[in-house]
Structure 1
């Protein structure tokens, strides 16, 4: 059995992420094979629609293979991770600009790299089982795969809240934050996938889409917008603690468990993403940030604590927000010279 499978049924080409025991986490080889398939299908007259799903019952994809990133950052020079991200982010950009309908079935867990291969698609389906998140700050990392682009576009300060806390979204909240387009009950997915072989996407989704059960974020947006409007992470936490809403206080306590460096870099990345324009520009920024993260202790320590040893007791360095300086944050955004991702078009006016 291969880690990613491809087949064509009728007018639909299917990608199935096939590592169910690892929650379909993406390996470098999987990224390369998906990209190759998309290139081929783009000009195939027999393929009208592309569909991506995850094997098993637990989710589409829990992210990238962060164990491999941990080992590369701890024992190597980080070059393998940098090459993986280069190809992964290029795949994310290809999905966003794909010339044919790209249907992402975001059933179950969809996190990190799973968001990258789904939320940039043209038709994004969530179910009652969907749990969508960018949980990077909990492992000493910063949202990537175009996550800062997507979250920067969310209503108000919801994207800031999600990026800093890593909170999981159900179907209605994913729709509200524009990370998904349609709600389809999971029991209808087999029929929907079968129908895509014979009918256009809009017709099929119109047949099976329903109104999602109520979410939570729309009701919380007032205090979220008020608190996350602060210019610094310290200011956000202060507002959360002073707000009076119990959910706001709990959120402050959650933030204080995350990597202080990752929190400050994430906030800076989001605010800059709002000014950068197209996705490709933001992916270039994310690549710089990710590569610089490989040289910091928090990424290795965060993955160790959350994924490898699972003691859930990371020892962040520096351990407090006050000790993370503006210079510490700024170095994550330093250009990489000839190692730049280079997705953004050059500015021909200069």
Structure 2
């Protein structure tokens, strides 16, 4: 973000009247009705607004209450602090679970988080996400499934999971599988990021609003219908650098295996393609192969709920594998940026290893695709 918005300060400065949620996320998510809008402000700026379980529950409770409140015509979600909308989930807690702690707490967090992602996608009122600054992982899940997704010149959007031995989740494989051509595959396998123009081109956002206009936009959203408010502030989209690379991206990532993708990237003669090959081979080999399989499967699964069910399987499987703990250690805990992946190379990842990511969970399945909307929430 370029800075906290006027609406952020307004919410933070007032008591939480009309607050529909009460749990341990109360200090980390600010909830306020302002005019015709229900405002949600992720408020962990020191942690780049990373999501905790309490925050997920608090957002879900607000949405449930506001869906029945005729005074709330629009929901608006933003992030406080100036640097990030939301940098993902609490991966330190995931690291504890992956290194001998109780995995059930993390699995329950994912269950509630993925249900929230599905609810946002099906929400009955306009859901406006202001995706300013860093938007990663879980931050994508509470924004890019919304009906109105706004980016600014500071937006950096990414699903960086393969870099920590994980597979994109929170509906990320659904969104990336729908991106034009193989742009989503490129972003997923490289753990790459997209600026505002590329986010719009990939279908991860809808509108560009300059950061300096955000305070006025938020004020207008509290006073006007969404389309009227947007019309006063939306600006032409900035360039999308990935568009100029579509020729080699689509050709290389259409290959059947990750090994073949890497070979095509190295052989095509484009400097950016060679860099992409290096990024892919630096990421966790098993997670990269599982991610390609998840994306290809997502294209055939149908609705978001079915893809979230698949992602719950891949997430639970990753929690039991060595690379997730090692990736978080290397990138977040020790920060030596030297993960020791197991298996260490793409060639060493047997088909059985990839198959483990998609193994049925029995009575632990998420089951969103087999429930009615009322049963989900």
Using structure 2 for the length normalisation, give the TM-score: 0.91
Deviations 1:58-86 (A, max 9, x none): 01000000000001111213111100000
Measure the CA separation in 1 of the matches of 2:120 and 2:50: 18
TM-superposed deviation, 1:331:
1.1
Describe the SS at the equivalent of 1:197: helix
2:56 aligns with one of 31, 37, 45: 31
1:276-324 Cα offsets, whole Å, 9 max, x none, are 0000000000000000111100000000000111100000001011110
User: What corresponds to 1:257 in structure 2?
Assistant: 282
Q: Partners in 2 of 1:157 and 1:298 — Cα distance?
A: 26
What is the rounded CA distance, in whole Å, between the counterparts of 1:126 and 1:47 in structure 2? 23
DSSP-derived class of the 1:75 partner: coil
Within 5 Å, which residues of 2 pair with 1:41-80?
41-80=66-105
Equivalent positions of 1:211-226 (< 5 A) are 211-226=236-251
Question: Over residues 226-257 of structure 1, what are the superposed CA-to-partner deviations in whole Å (9 max), with x where a residue is unaligned?
Answer: 00010100000000000001111111011110
Q: Name the residue aligned to 2:345.
A: 320
Task: Name 2:214's counterpart in structure 1.
Answer: 189
The structure 1 segments of at least 4 consecutive aligned residues displaced by more than 4 Å after TM superposition are none
**Partner residue in 2 for 1:273:** 298
Q: What is the rounded CA distance, in whole Å, between the counterparts of 2:362 and 2:261 in structure 1?
A: 34
1:87 pairs with 101, 106, 112, which one?
112
The answer for the alignment partner of 1:15 in structure 2 is 40
CA shift for structure 1 position 207? 1.1
Structure 2 unaligned blocks of 5 or more: 1-25, 373-377
Runs of at least 5 residues in structure 1 that lack an aligned partner in the other structure: none
Residue correspondence of structure 1 range 226-305 to structure 2 within 5 A: 226-305=251-330
Q: Distance in 2 between matches of 1:294 and 1:156?
A: 31
Determine helix, strand or coil for the equivalent of 1:53: strand
Cα distance in 1 between the residues matched to 2:335 and 2:237: 34
Aligned counterpart for 2:205 among listed residues 161, 165, 180: 180
Deviates more, 1:49-58 or 1:338-347: 338-347
Distance in 2 (alpha carbons) for counterparts of 1:211 and 1:67: 39
CA distance in 2, matches of 1:221, 1:332: 30
Written as runs of structure 1 = structure 2, the 5 A alignment for 1:333-348 is 333-345=358-370
Shift of 1:346: 6.6
Over aligned residues, Cα RMSD in angstroms? 1.0
CA distance, structure 2, for counterparts of residue 331 and residue 311 of structure 1: 29
- From 169, 191, 200, the equivalent of 2:194 is 169
Hey, what does 1:210 align to over in structure 2?
A: 235
Write the deviation string for residues 191-222 of structure 1: whole angstroms up to 9, x where unpaired: 00001111000111111000122120110011
In 2: Cα distance, 1:339 partner to 1:75 partner = 20
Paired residue secondary structure (1:15): strand
Calculate the TM-score normalised by the size of structure 1.
0.98
Q: Which residue matches 2:7? A: none
Answering whether residue 135 of structure 2 is matched by residue 110 of structure 1, we say: yes
User: SS of the residue aligned with 1:333?
Assistant: coil
1:208 alignment partner, SS class: coil
